[in-house]
Amino acid sequence: MPVLVLNASYEPVNITRARRAIVLLIKGVAVVEEAHDRFVHIGLRLPCVIRLRQYRRLPSRIQTLSRKNILIRDGYICQYCGEKFLSSELELEHVIPRAQGGQSTWENLVAACRDCNARKADRTPMEAGMRLLRQPRRVTIHTSRALMRQTGVDEEKWRKYLYY
């Protein structure tokens, strides 16, 4: 279960797993702002939104290039056919193939389903007659917040913290 993490100023900072959020609560680093109806332990409800007790100054962070972050950036949608898939059904695809000198960068990696990835093979999208839904970009703090909003669309309790 994803949990929204807020700074002491109620500014959205991150999305973490429930397990990590519970650790922060037990250590006394955070408090529960919103909780689900389920209990994880006697007297402890499953957190939905937590807030850090002390304000943490966040450095301008550079997002790590990883499979998980590429899939999150692309919304678990194949960038060629536009269908939404589970993480396990998607592959990372080089827009400019490595065989043609393409690098593993934010701007050259996209999420693709197995069928589209196989159909494109070692060709550029133009050579394969395929179009990208959108041009891949590096994830910044602004896209990071946009991704939090996108993730929180279905979480009713997150809405007031994500500035809809």
pLDDT band at 155 (very low <50, low <70, confident <90, very high): confident
Nearest residue to 113 via CA among 87, 134, 150:
87
Indicate whether 49 belongs to any domain.
Answer: yes
Could you tell me if 41 and 72 lie in one domain?
no
Of 41, 56, 71, the last residue of a domain is 56
44's tokens: 């402890």
Q: Per mean pLDDT, which range of 6-15, 25-34, 37-46, 121-130 is the poorest?
A: 37-46
The percent of residues above 70 in pLDDT, for the chain, comes to 91
Could you tell me if 48 and 64 lie in one domain?
no
pTM of the model: 0.63
70's tokens: 């590429």
Could you tell me if 78 and 30 lie in one domain?
no
- Helix, strand, coil percent values for the chain (each to nearest 5): 35, 25, 40
Question: CA 80 to CA 112: how far, in whole Å?
Answer: 7
92's tokens: 């990372």
Domain holding 147, by residue range, is 59-153
Residue 117's CATH number: 1.10.30
Report in angstroms the alpha-carbon separations of 18 from 40, 106, 143. 10, 28, 23
Q: Rg of the chain's alpha carbons, rounded to an integer? A: 19
Could you tell me if 51 and 73 lie in one domain?
no
Could you tell me if 12 and 35 lie in one domain?
yes
Structural domains in the chain (count): 2
Q: Give tens-digit pLDDT for 48-59.
A: 999 999 999 876
Question: CA 137 to CA 122: how far, in whole Å?
Answer: 21
Could you tell me if 82 and 145 lie in one domain?
yes
Indicate whether 29 belongs to any domain.
Answer: yes
Could you tell me if 71 and 131 lie in one domain?
yes
Could you tell me if 66 and 136 lie in one domain?
yes
Q: Give tens-digit pLDDT for 64-115.
A: 898 988 988 898 999 999 999 999 999 999 999 999 999 999 999 999 999 9
